[in-house]
Chain A
Amino acid sequence: MNSRYSFGGDEHIFVECDEAMSLEAFFKSLSITKAVRTAQIRGVTEICPANASFQIKYDPDIIKPDDLLRELKSIEAAASGGHSSLKTRIIEVPVLYNDPWTHETLMRFRDRHQAPDMTDVEYTAKINNLDGVDGFVKAHSGAPWFVSMVGFVAGLPFLYQMVERRRQIQSPKYLRPRTDTPKLTVGHGGCFGAIYSVRGAGGYQMFGITPMPIYDPNQEIKYLRDFMCLFNPGDIVKWRPIDRAEYDQTVADVEAGKFAPRINNVIFSLDEFHGDIDGTNAKLTGALYGH
């Protein structure tokens, strides 16, 4: 996996770890950006890991572009071959699948969809050979997902399903993007899941909605008071299907300041994961529920 370096104008260096998405490429991006953060290079102003690439923004009045390029390459060389383990968090995200709000929205934009006579869940289930809506929910919520990137808009996590490639859910984006997506929609495009942090345009398939806010610019929600965005790249997400009653209760609890997300610290090892995917996932999920 050879990284490709490119200047993005005079203020950015863009590094593609791999053209294709994989956990290896993501880990490489994460470990190099961590090392860059630790190195505290003068003149570096933004360090942004992405799915299979990363980007550094710098002030060329403080550090010469070629000097930074050289430094990044030496950090990459030092970071390669390191152990691929990660101290991170696993976070439970309750989901009301097939909820009325995304349903109302997807019906409004049926003319922009590949299969106007099906819902997004039904369509995705079909093209992934899953057994209807129930089979889809089981596949979607069965294994945890990596937050492989945070961005597009404030606090929006991109999620990468932690299963073998042949089991990964894949779906195209809408034929033409929608002009509306409800806030906190759980969506999917390509091999990536996402949670829309704010209401707005979007092209991902819409599967459901979570009652758990993940972005609060006013920092009034209790668990977002320390920082307005919940997710960081490298976090692990476990979806939990909920029913309408629990959805409504959670919304009320968030409102009343009584809700706290279920979060636990875990250590993830890429080697261990590849050795036993289901076992590793069971262990991670176990840590979430205190087993």
Chain B
Amino acid sequence: MVIKVIKPGLSTTVQDLGRPGYYHIGIPISGGMDRFALCAANWLAGNKEDAAVLEATFLGPELEFTSDATVAVTGAELPPKLDGQPRETWTSFKVKKGQTLAFDFLKAGARAYVAISGGVDVPVVLGSRSTYALGALGGHQGRKLTAGDELRLGSGGEIAEGRTVPARLRRAPGSPTELRMMPGLYWHRITELAGRYFFEDTWKVAPEADRIGYRFRGGRPLDFVPREPPFGAGSDPSNIVDACYPYGSVQVPGGTEPIMLHRDAVSGGGYFMIGTIISADMDLVGQLQPNATARFMPATMEEALAARHGRQRLLNEIRESL
């Protein structure tokens, strides 16, 4: 009940639905960046939705199986190959003892979720198997996988192969991707015109895009409303007295390049934020490649909640269809 890591891929980590409850001491929730795809992969492989899977970024790993298992790959279009034979994404398939699972080059998206029947059985740390690499916590030895690692599997049931999520129930970012943001937090620090430009401009994902956050470039710099710096904030107009950062919050150090924090977020700091990406769109950000184009769209709380329920309905449909 072990899989052997022949090649680790670029950045492959063990993730589940995360580790809530410790953000107040700087330990972020972690877990899959694209939780929609993660849940679907687990159901396809016959697991509960919160089982631990492998999240492979940009480049897939090469894995040798020492026992039979059912596998499903969702999220990014990272085509699986079993002993060199192609397999479908978003569709469960059987792996026999001794076979090797590898991947073709990435066709779309950024992160693939590889669910294996029984789930990846690394130790549960603070209630989760997710990897938080910055804190060397959880997952497989607190880090991304390297060649030679061996991962234990939990015991899984017998699942028929060929279970599939129909295309209409899959989610992937468009181009440009529209990311809905609720303005707020320190929005009042920028001028009305700067706020308009922010939503009008088309942005590009910068190379600095990882599990902690996504940086965007290409829009016009933001102009600030003048102020006397409050004590403890610092002299730059984008500085605040260090505060908590919501997941999905968009900070703009120096007013130039927005950074959106994701599942491994730094929990706080001294840069002002202009708003927060709605929870339903967090999955999509996790599928953006560097250089992908994005627009920020203003959203109200009502719209955010409607989108949240829409996402949940889609997930329910997937679960019921399997």
Contact = CB atoms under 8 A, between A and B. Distances in A.
B267 interface: yes
B6 interface: no
Contacts of B185: 6, 8, 14
A228 to B, nearest CB: 8
A19 B241 contact: yes
Interface in A39-70: 45-55, 57, 60-61, 65
Contact of B232 (A51, A154, A156, A228): A51
A217 interface: yes
- Highest count of chain A CB atoms <10 Å: which of B185, B243, B247, B312: B243
A52 B268 contact: no
Interface residues of B, number: 51
Given A10-B305, A48-B268, A151-B268, 5 more contacts: A9-B278, A65-B305, A150-B24, A191-B232, A215-B135
Interface pairs A-B: 7 shortest CB-CB: A21-B232, A8-B246, A9-B276, A151-B267, A55-B244, A20-B230, A154-B135
Interface string B167-189: 00000000000000110110000
Give the size range of A's interface with the partner: 35 or more
A152 B267 contact: yes
A125 interface: no
Contact of B242 (A8, A46, A61, A192): A192
Contacts of B137: 154, 217, 228
B301 interface: yes
A12 B276 contact: yes
A242 to B, nearest CB: 26
Interface stretch (A78-86, A135-143, A229-237): A229-237
A10 B20 contact: no
B142 interface: yes
A149 interface: yes
Nearest to B307: A10
B60 interface: no
B27 interface: yes
B26 A54 contact: no
Interface string A203-220: 000000000000101000
A241 interface: no
Contact of A10 (B138, B244, B279): B279
Given A48-B267, A50-B268, A191-B231, A151 B24 contact: yes
Given A151-B26, A190-B270, A21 B230 contact: yes
Task: Report whether over half of chain B's contact residues are helix, strand or loop; otherwise say mixed.
Answer: mixed
Contact of A60 (B26, B247, B305): B305
A132 interface: no
Contacts of B266: 151-153
Contact of B23 (A9, A46, A197): A46
Nearest to A160: B232
A46 B269 contact: no
A19 B234 CA distance: 12
A70 to B, nearest CB: 14
Interface in B235-293: 235, 239-244, 246-249, 266-270, 273, 275-279
B124 to A, nearest CB: 13
A71 B139 CA distance: 37
B242 A158 contact: yes
B233 interface: yes
Contacts of A11: 246-248, 279
A37 to B, nearest CB: 10
21 contacts: A9-B246, A9-B249, A10-B301, A11-B279, A14-B184, A14-B244, A51-B243, A52-B243, A53-B241, A53-B244, A57-B23, A61-B312, A152-B267, A153-B26, A154-B134, A154-B135, A165-B231, A189-B234, A189-B270, A215-B135, A217-B125
- Highest count of chain A CB atoms <10 Å: which of B232, B304, B305: B232
A133 interface: no
B142 A52 contact: no
B308 interface: yes
